[in-house]
Structure 1
Amino acid sequence: MCGRYALHTAPMRVAQSLGLPVDLDWDPAYNVAPGRPVPVIATDPDSGDPIATQAQWGFHPHWAGDKAPTPINARAESLRNSRYFFG
């Protein structure tokens, strides 16, 4: 998996095409990096409906300290031995 991606279409346009309410103002970006807030389509925890919102790119378990690394991907061959996924 790559460590960066390009966001060619404005997220507002994607959300509108799916009929989702939009309250975020995001521009297309050529070089979206890990750790940056990114636009996502998720499930509203209260209603169960899809929503356009933002999320932090990376995985940070609740038990990990503030200075712990935030992985952006996982290797299948090391999943069973990683504290991050079985902490």
Structure 2
Amino acid sequence: MCGRFVLAASPEELAGHFGLDQVPALTARYNIAPSQLVAVVAPKADPAKRGLALLKWGLVPYWSNDGQPGPINARAETVAGLATFSNSFRDRRCILPASGFYEWCVQGGKKVPHRFRL
């Protein structure tokens, strides 16, 4: 995932797509950035059920002393083998619903965002 993304799905769409019993009222967001609160779908105490929670975007490795979020993304080809990610990749997964994301291209010496809709 890149550094900015969009979540414009309605609570009803999220509930239907992910099989959620309850989804809080959410407003469409078109510029979600690292360290902001984001809606995630994660297992509940009953592993057969999922819930929606608001969590701060950024990985806090299990060995972190300060609890501050660090990396915001990882490469699929290395995530299982790197110490920073391997424990979380194996044991602490969640789903980040997204309606789109941005990639930045340099045009005329300036970075210009390009939105990709999902």
Question: TM-score scaled by structure 2?
Answer: 0.54
Matched, 1:17 2:16: yes
Matched, 1:27 2:30: no
Is 1:3–1:34's contact at 8 Å kept on the other side of the alignment?
Answer: yes
Aligned to 1:48: 48
> Number of residues paired by the alignment?
85
> Sequence identity, in percent?
32
Structure with bigger helix share is: 1
- Inter-CA distance 8–15: structure 2 relative to 1 (3 Å threshold): closer
- Inter-CA distance 23–74: structure 2 relative to 1 (3 Å threshold): closer
- 1:25, distance to aligned residue in structure 2 (A): 2.2
- 1:73, distance to aligned residue in structure 2 (A): 1.0
- Inter-CA distance 49–83: structure 2 relative to 1 (3 Å threshold): closer
Q: Which AA in structure 2 matches 1:14? A: E
Runs (4 or more) in structure 1 with deviation over 3 Å come to 75-80
Is 2:79–2:86's contact at 8 Å kept on the other side of the alignment?
Answer: no
- 1:24, distance to aligned residue in structure 2 (A): 1.9
- 1:6, distance to aligned residue in structure 2 (A): 1.1
Deviation by residue 1:50-71 (Cα, 9 ceiling, x = unmatched): 2222232211113223276610
SS of alignment partner, residue 15 of structure 2: helix
Q: Distance in 2 between matches of 1:66 and 1:16?
A: 34
Q: Which has the higher contact order (CA 8 A, sep 6+)?
A: 2
Range that drifts further, 48-57 or 67-76: 67-76
Q: Distance in 2 between matches of 1:49 and 1:70?
A: 28
